[in-house]
Structure 1
Amino acid sequence: MNQAQNTYFNTQITTANPGELTLMLYSGCVKFLKLALKSMEAGDFEQKNTYLIKAINIVDELLITLDMKYEISQSLSSLYIYIKELIIKANIKTQQEPLFESIQLVTELRDTWSEALKLVKS
């Protein structure tokens, strides 16, 4: 079952266009941030750290794939850096508030990106 699921996810990633890949990154980041929050609430700090590192890796990927020739990329870069700082703060200080804020910001980015993809398709 696990191998079939991995094959499915790999196929999804290799056949997705750049817009869909960005949406997947946003969705994965939200997922890991929420899992980190649950782990924090459960007192499982090792698992919290693991999930937050995964979220940071996704934010780093979003940062390095920005095409800086577009004006919006400057704003997104600043926002991604801020989100990364929130995640690091939540991890180091084991605080939920920066985690709540980062979840809200990435969720808004994901939802906006999803709407933009729908508009492009129609």
Structure 2
Amino acid sequence: MNNLAKKYRNVQHSTTDKGGVLLLLHDGILRELRKAQEAFSEPHGGELSLLKAQMGVVELDRTLNFEAGPELADSLHNLYLHMLWVMSEALEKRDALGLAPVIKMLGELREAWSVACTETRQAKRAV
């Protein structure tokens, strides 16, 4: 990534609300998962991308607020653990298709968060 793109991304991250940062994190994880899928055909290909995706999922897990919504946080925690396990299995077997369920789940979560963020922003504007 060139220097200008890095600067833009840093500004984007520093000026985005919490919901926007969450969406950016989902986007980054999905991007790395797709890169890993494509690179699995090469020897040792995709390992770095998959590691980045796993680190992103760990970060999602770290942001869970068990006090604000214990049931939701517990469900998401278990889902994130499952995703990490599936990613590890896919890496061990070098199975690009094995990442498809994680990509699907994360895409659906990202869409749900996007809707929630939009509704929250609209509610704040209405006040």
Superposed pair shares fold, TM > 0.5? yes
Q: Which residue of 2 aligns with 1:6?
A: 6
Query: RMSD over aligned Cα, in angstroms?
Result: 1.3
| TM-score, structure 1 as length reference | 0.92
> Unaligned regions of 5+ residues in structure 1, if any?
none
Q: CA deviation at 1:120?
A: 1.2
Q: CA deviation at 1:64?
A: 1.0
Q: Which residue of 1 aligns with 2:44?
A: 46
What is the alpha-carbon distance in structure 2 between the residues aligned to residue 45 and residue 17 of structure 1? 40
Q: Which residue of 2 aligns with 1:55?
A: 53
Which structure has greater helix proportion? 1
What is the alpha-carbon distance in structure 2 between the residues aligned to residue 14 and residue 56 of structure 1? 23
Sequence identity percentage: 28
After the TM superposition, which parts of structure 1 deviate over 6 Å for at least 4 consecutive aligned residues? none
SS of residue matched to 1:16: coil
What is the alpha-carbon distance in structure 2 between the residues aligned to residue 98 and residue 20 of structure 1? 28
> Unaligned regions of 5+ residues in structure 2, if any?
123-127
Q: Deviations over 1:17-48 (max 9, x none)?
A: 111111111111111111111112xx224331
